[in-house]
Amino acid sequence: MEGQSLNTAIPKGWRNDAHAKAAGRAKYTDDLKFARLLHAAPVYSEFVHARILGISTEDAAKSPGVVSVLTARDVPGSNSFGQIIRDYRIFADDKIRFNGDVVAMVVAETRDLAIRAAALVRVEAEVLPAVLDPEEALKPGSILVHESHGSNLVNTHRVRRGDVDKGFRQADFVIEENFRTQSIEHAYMEPEVAVSVPRQDGVIEVYGSMQHPFSTRRFVAACLGVPLSSIEIVGTPMGGGFGGKDDTAAIVCARTALAASLLGRPVKLMYRRDWSIRESYKRHPYRVTYKMGVTQGGLITAVQCRILADGGAYCSVTPWVTWRSTVQCCGPYVVENVHCDTFGVYTNNVVAGAMRGFGSPQMNFVVEQMVEVAAARVGISGIEFRRRNMVRQGSVTITGQKLDTHKVAMSEVLDAVLREADYEKKLARCSHGRSDGDELYGIGLAMSYRGVSLGAEGVDFCAAVINVQPDGSILLEVGVHENGQGAESAMSLLAAAELGVHIGRIRYRRASTSTVPDSGTTVASRGTIMGGGAVTVAATELKQKMAEVVCERLQCTAQEVRFENDLLLGYGARSITFDESIRLMFQAQRFPYVCGVFKAPRTSWDEHSGKGDAYFTWVYGCQAAELTVNKKTGKVRLLSATAAHDVGRAVNPEMVRGQIFGGMAMAVGYALHEEVRSKDGRITTLNLNMYRIPRSTDLPEMKAIIVENPDPQSPSGAKALGEPTTEILAPAIANAVFHATGRREFALPIKLSAVPEELSEEDCRL
């Protein structure tokens, strides 16, 4: 890549925001100060499923310091919204569909006064029976969460490939298991927060913790019934998202914008942790029935699976999450005969939506255990079984996509982990339920491939604006959002490398929905590939413009001008500084301003047959975990975790490593600790003392191996990383637990009681 060497001069771990964050100077939304600021508090009800008869706000309105109490009646535009089905409400109006529904919002002079008054709002409602089990919800005659929808079925997806009956007939063994995964909270350290500020020109400015500025703007504008140009979402440092600051975060913004617009004063809504856990959407709990046919030779002949996802009370992105599960339902394996049926279901549970992984952690927990079960049945190692079935260069996926546009690096990442973890040697030492002391030892691994970015169900494009100032300094703005992952830094590094300039020249402009084209959402691990693509396209266009102006002086053609070390180089030793060339551009009245657009290459999907080129490229990852299980207590202690990921190109290696470590940590929580628990539809794990995310002492030393195979279809060569890092450690841990105890765990989180001394024959079967 041209100018890439320049990045070596950049300080290790460079981030444009690190200094401010280390110094405590970074201002997150709740840190911002505004004159005459009002504070809001949401009002919940005791109900899980109920028809609203009346909401009385009089007592709350009379409470000290209260300025206003808002309900659905106060929404001038649309009270309902949703990216796929508009079934979610800014304020619950007809019904309460889950315990996190907000019926009203109190606005007061201080937050304490708002919270105090919120308790005085009374909801009169007719209690309806709640449906909390997704299987029950699908039965005919079930209570309906949305009567107008006609059933509780949100969506279905399917894959039909080959002939599964024939496939099972060809099999020497047929294995069938049932798996369950749990509801998971994102637990971003910063709870939802937004401040809306009425500007004198009529625009409402919104500062908030959301990873989705453009769709937030759509929801806010629709809620207020105003054009998009009347709302400006201003990028603000954000304390983590992990997919979780999408729908709910947008509603929080919309509520403050509504209040600010009605009251003519800035309004802040800062969530308490219990409100956040109660109301925000979660990772979908899954129930999966999985049947796999294999030959004596260790080849998979058929897979049949049924996937049931509890989407909770509103649609959110359940159809998209379950689509990824469907497309990737066989893991990174070639299977000729596949029959997969997937159901997204409404219940009166907390809403489920996007969370890092987006439908893959659940399926990988299933598939990566199934292959080991199958391997054991055949009598070969799980590694050998994987090698015989995994995708290779030119393989065709279960949806009929030929993997030939990029390097298929499945064996490369697998080999890297085996080597680094000394896996096969350690595998031979596993306890399999027997040890002299109290500790049982095990190691396990899992691997995956993952479709990058939105795939065939989304419109996938991104814009970047490079605006060089008359003195040669550069303003950069890209339609991706800084969620904490280092997106702005990656974009800046790519721009610097592509333009052959020092990073100090680049100033990432504070993001705003009013200055850069709507580029969709910073989700689906698409930030680097899509944003980076746009930056690379923009930089290429800028270089062309600059070269046209200076090529004559450099005694070469525009195509021959090279950009290196803040210089433009031409024929022989001829060169001109970047600054001087910009001066010449302004002199020639050619503005060094470009808007580069990267459109994702074509993808396709046929919903009926479940066939298509689902994603335009794929990434490959493998992770291993080493652990002990205490025989007496069942306590799992992690000893090490090792990961290898093909990222295409590592733009900012320290940040790449950070994504890998963070993703693995989140997967440890998924595997062993985390579960949003409810009683009768009401969440009980409402704060971080009850909902236990991994602490430093829950985690082992981790190793990250970066594999780079630049993708020809990605202008920057970079692919994706955020989500693959968190989708395979749970099955790796489950496999390690099996190798330690001799018992397989089919449900998450893995809860081991004391391991029995002697295994029954039934236990040894697996």
Cβ 115 to another protein shortest distance, Å: 11
| DSSP structure string for 390-433 | B--TT-B-TTS-B--SS---HHHHHHHHHHHHTHHHHHTT--TT
Q: How far apart (Å, rounded) are the C-alpha atoms in residues 559 and 237? A: 40
Structure tokens given for 23: 């110094």
Least separation in angstroms between residue 729's CB and another protein is 10
The nearer residue to another protein, 65 or 517, going by C-beta atoms, is 65
Q: Work out how close the CB of 186 gets to another protein at its nearest, in angstroms, rounded to a whole number.
A: 8
Residue 484 Cβ vs another protein, minimum distance, rounded to whole Å:
3
Residues 752, 734: Cα–Cα separation, whole Å: 11
Q: Are 114 and 125 in contact (CB under 8 A)?
A: no
Smaller CB distance to another protein: residue 11 or 297? 11
Please say whether the beta carbons of 456 and 609 come within 8 A: no
Q: What's the chain's length in residues?
A: 766
Give me the least distance between CB of 356 and another protein, in Å please: 10
Least distance (Å) between residue 705 CB and another protein: 14
What is the nearest approach in angstroms of another protein to the Cβ of residue 439? 18
Cβ nearer to another protein, comparing 401 with 725: 725
Residue type, 230: S
Give the whole-angstrom CA distance, residue 305 versus residue 288: 7
Q: Which residues bind another protein (CB under 8 A)?
A: 11-13, 15, 17-19, 21-28, 30-31, 33, 186-191, 237-240, 242, 272-273, 483-486, 654-655, 657-658, 661-666, 687-689, 693-697, 699, 701-702
Closest of 359, 293, 309, 340 to residue 611, by C-alpha: 340
- What DSSP designation does 148 have? G
Q: 436 burial class (0-12, 13-18, 19+ CB within 10 angstroms)?
A: exposed
Q: For residues 556 and 672, which CB has a smaller minimum distance to another protein in the complex?
A: 672
Which H helix or E strand runs over 253? helix 247-263
Cα torsion 746, 750, 756, 759: sign: positive
- Contacts (Cβ under 8 Å, ≥6 apart) of 351: 88, 98, 100, 247, 248, 280, 281, 282, 311, 312, 313, 314, 316
- Looking at the Cβ atoms of 399 and 492, the one nearer to another protein is 492
Residue closer to another protein, measured from CB, 484 or 731: 484
Residue placing its CB nearer to another protein in the complex, 37 or 143: 37
Distance CA 739, CA 555 (A): 68
Q: How far is the CB of 492 from another protein (least distance, A)?
A: 15
Cβ proximity to another protein: between 162 and 239 the closer is 239
Q: What angle is formed at CA 356 by the lines to CA 650 and CA 206, rounded to 5 degrees? A: 95
Structure tokens at 510: 């504070």
Pairing of strands 267-270, 38-43: parallel
Nearer residue to another protein within complex by CB, 662 or 681: 662
Residues 707 and 644 sit within 8 Å (Cβ to Cβ): yes
Minimal distance, residue 215 CB to another protein, in Å: 20
Burial 253-265 (b: 16+ CB within 10 A, else e): bbbbbbbbbbbeb
State the minimum distance, in angstroms, from the CB of residue 522 to another protein: 13
What distance, in Å, lies between the first and last C-alpha atoms of the chain?
A: 49
Q: What is the distance, to the nearest Å, from the Cα of residue 167 to the centroid of all Cα atoms in its chain?
A: 35
| Minimum separation from the CB atom of position 129 to another protein (A) | 34
Task: Report in angstroms how near the CB of residue 420 gets to another protein at its nearest.
Answer: 15
CB 253, CB 206: distance < 8 Å: yes
- The answer to whether the Cα torsion of 474, 478, 482, 486 is positive or negative is negative
| Best CA proximity match to 529, nearest among 657, 357, 711, 708 | 711
Which residue, 26 or 747, is less far from another protein as judged by CB?
26
Q: How far is the CB of 656 from another protein (least distance, A)?
A: 9
Distance (Å, rounded) from C-alpha 275 to C-alpha 277? 6
Nearer Cβ to another protein (325/489):
489
Asked if 605 and 456 count as a contact pair (C-beta separation under 8 A), the reply is yes
Q: Which is nearer to another protein, 237 or 634 (CB)?
A: 237
- Rounded to a whole number of angstroms, the CA Rg of the chain reads 27
749 upstream amide cis, omega within 30 of 0: yes
| Minimum CB distance to another protein, residue 255 (Å) | 20
Comparison of 17 and 422: residue with beta carbon closer to another protein: 17
Tell me which amino acid residue 477 is.
E
Contact 117, 284 (CB under 8 A): no
β-bridge mates for residue 507, sequence order? 475
**Closer residue to another protein, CB minimum distance, 319 or 621:** 621
CA distance 736 to 719: 29
Which is closer to another protein, CB of 116 or CB of 657?
Answer: 657
Minimum CB distance to another protein, residue 667 (Å)? 10
